[in-house]
A and B are shown apart, each in its own frame.
Chain A
């Protein structure tokens, strides 16, 4: 796995910043570890030091009537969810690994689940951060208000930056009251085209679904999973409309149980072969899924069909996995999307790059990386440029 010689566990933001400043001075590379659930992402995890955020944990402030919560970066999502639930509220974000992942890690990895089309993704929910930087300062971006255009929106820059610019020590997020009603629909289709067509119609329906997911089970066996939460009347309408769209396209509806939770954890399970994750324009999903399902090493496909985020698990012979993963990334680029090899077997590291090459914006990203981390100490294997 990964080799680390020194582990640091700062107790507060200032100590965290001091550790980064010392490392910058000594040119020691650092990986930032929250719940360590997504350490498979990116290139080599080998660094001189490891900085763990486990002591930077806890709810800093929760004002239920403002629908905002401020938490320390190392707080586990599960703990945050429990604290919010006791006030009748929830974090409208369903990332994978939610049992052990921390909020800082979820922000740094821009880790989203299936709810993004309904409530937005990390970037839409995050309204404030405090970040420890490699120069030893702790800076604040955004605030605790839901609308704010004072200065640059550094929250966006840090979302999905994989710890390459700084360490998220605190975050303020939008939360919502727990809805009163929920329901769902599961449907099977013989053709992926029909499953995606139904998904597209449901995504545009008047009553907004909470999750719209397409899964390829086996040849000629595709599933569509839809959930809705909210006011009882709106939920009933969403489910009725979804069932109608399913029947119109020859799908057979059934009851939905805990299937979504299983699909959400695909990244946790796909430890062999390679897991390719792409984001493509929504209408391009059908063709992309068809291409994927025909590949020699294809194992399974799960799409957040309302957003166009598609994961494909490939397994089998190494050369086939490598060839197919590269083909999928190319296919995503051809339709104006992008992607990465999110996870791959240890033996494929070095032969299959996790990060794609970019055609534009790379120089700009490099300048930003250099501006925040001039000594290049933070997450050397995860820099996007």
Chain B
């Protein structure tokens, strides 16, 4: 347990923009430790905030109402790689990429691959229902978790599901995944391992405009091709990435698509040719095909390093991850551009175009004063409002956390939120799990007098 001021400061921020200092930080080593801790907190009505690697982008691990931060850094063991059943059983502190690395000799991998996969933990992935570029055809975290051991806020240990594809009774595994640490603490996870694809084809296509790139995305999907990934990047993002990573993206393109197909070798080249043709029909001015694994890695390095590269453009950025039906891409990207212009902020776009999951990176500079962040948030809110109005969602993979909980009424009517609240109360009647997240809180959300969605 950590209580010294200097130690606590390490835990007052995560990957997002909000901060708060915990009263204490605890590093349990077993389910029994976690259970004992929860019982203590329950007895003394202390808030409990679970934390993985702290790479989250919505403030999920920030102890906004104080209390104990529970770090899973010491519960980081891969308990079992069960090759015969294509499952892995892990502790929550295991790093995402470490699992795929451990499974690779068996020809298997764990599908969700967030950009932070070298640092983020599987417990965090469960809490946030994390995605990544390759979840377009293979699904996000919830599609890959079959069993959980959780500790409730009163210390009760509950095992849900297992290695089988389903269990009798309500699907509480599916209900728990993506609950952002507000229902309980995860102490053990059973996940699916999936055979590595036999081969891949990766291509980069450059377009004059983001409109042309967006329309290409819809055309590829409509043609019946479901690539394993379709990523899009605008000129500003390309500029930052090239300066940082030298991925070989053309600097003068208005929009860039990174498309990958995988599966059996047979037919992959056909599919690549069809995608190439669709790109050309939609005005692609240049297409580059990764001929070697090294070239593919270089193309991907640009995409995966994009957020980090933003430092080249601006000292601070605020990233949103609203989702829209993919056919609405061109229109919403224009809204994103207009929102940036209106608030005199530059916005770079680098996102999962295949599933309509935007990532506008709103650039600002806190050295110019705290109102810069407020302007960035205002621009972000305009973008999210447009996403919801287009029939989409506030977040595709980053979570609501404490960053967007005040915006929940944009997407959900009071009745919808009340239904979620029933689930919350069933799991955590004392209300100790990660308070101040997901649900709008009267104290912090007063200034957001949002009109209800419906």
Chain A residues proximal to chain B, CB less than 8 Å: 63-68, 110, 116, 120-121, 123-124, 131, 133, 137-141, 143-157, 159-161, 165, 176-177, 179-180, 204-208, 231-234, 236-238, 279-284, 307-309, 336-340, 355-356, 358, 360-365, 367-368, 370-372, 384-385
Contacts and interface: CB of A to CB of B under 8 A. Distances in A.
B42 interface: no
B177 interface: yes
Nearest to A233: B267
- Residue of A110, A180, A231 most packed against chain B (CB within 10 A): A231
B425 interface: yes
Nearest to A372: B422
Interface stretch (B94-102, B205-213, B408-416): B408-416
15 contacts: A66-B326, A120-B143, A139-B419, A151-B400, A151-B408, A151-B417, A160-B166, A206-B199, A231-B267, A233-B264, A279-B166, A355-B168, A364-B152, A364-B427, A370-B426
A250 to B, nearest CB: 21
A336 B163 contact: yes
A179 B224 contact: yes
Nearest to B219: A65
B447 interface: no
Interface in B373-415: 391-400, 404, 408, 411-413, 415
B423 A63 contact: no
A208 B198 CA distance: 11
Contacts of B131: 147
A65 B223 CA distance: 9
Contacts of A150: 393-395, 400, 404, 408, 411-412
B297 interface: no
Contacts of B226: 176
Nearest to B397: A149
A67 to B, nearest CB: 6
B291 interface: no
B420 interface: yes
A140 B413 contact: yes
A343 B415 CA distance: 36
Given A147-B356, A207-B263, A280 B164 contact: yes
B171 interface: yes
Contacts of A370: 426
Given A149-B178, A150-B393, A360 B224 contact: no
B215 to A, nearest CB: 10
Contacts of B199: 206
Nearest to A61: B391
Nearest to B218: A65
A238 B265 CA distance: 11
Given A110-B171, A150-B395, 16 more contacts: A65-B222, A67-B221, A123-B171, A141-B419, A147-B323, A153-B129, A154-B419, A160-B171, A204-B107, A206-B199, A206-B265, A207-B264, A233-B267, A281-B163, A282-B85, A355-B168
Given A145-B324, A147-B397, A177 B224 contact: yes
- Residue of A159, A204, A364 most packed against chain B (CB within 10 A): A364
B426 A367 contact: yes
B419 A133 contact: yes
B165 A116 contact: yes
A137 B427 CA distance: 22
Contact of B168 (A121, A124, A340): A340
B264 A153 contact: no
A361 B264 contact: no
Interface string B341-355: 000000000001001
A121 B408 contact: no
A87 to B, nearest CB: 11
B282 to A, nearest CB: 14
B266 A141 contact: no
B422 A371 contact: yes
Contact of A371 (B84, B143, B426): B426
Contact of A206 (B264, B393, B398, B418): B264
A151 B167 contact: no
B57 to A, nearest CB: 11
Interface string B326-368: 1100000000000000000000000010011100000000000
B175 A156 contact: yes
B139 A124 contact: yes
Contact of A153 (B85, B86, B178, B224): B178
Contacts of A232: 267
B140 A147 contact: yes
A176 B137 CA distance: 11
A37 to B, nearest CB: 20
B325 interface: yes
Contacts of B395: 148-150
Nearest to B425: A371
Contacts of A362: 169
Interface string B206-242: 0000000000001001111010000000000000000
Contacts of A364: 152, 158, 172, 426-427
A368 B429 CA distance: 11
A368 B175 CA distance: 11
B426 A160 contact: no
A182 to B, nearest CB: 14
Given A141-B416, A150-B411, A371-B426, A159 B165 contact: no
Q: 4 smallest A-B Cβ distances: which pairs?
A: A156-B174, A233-B267, A177-B224, A384-B169
Given A147-B135, A149-B178, A281-B164, A65 B326 contact: yes
A326 to B, nearest CB: 15
A92 to B, nearest CB: 11
Contacts of B393: 143, 145, 147-150
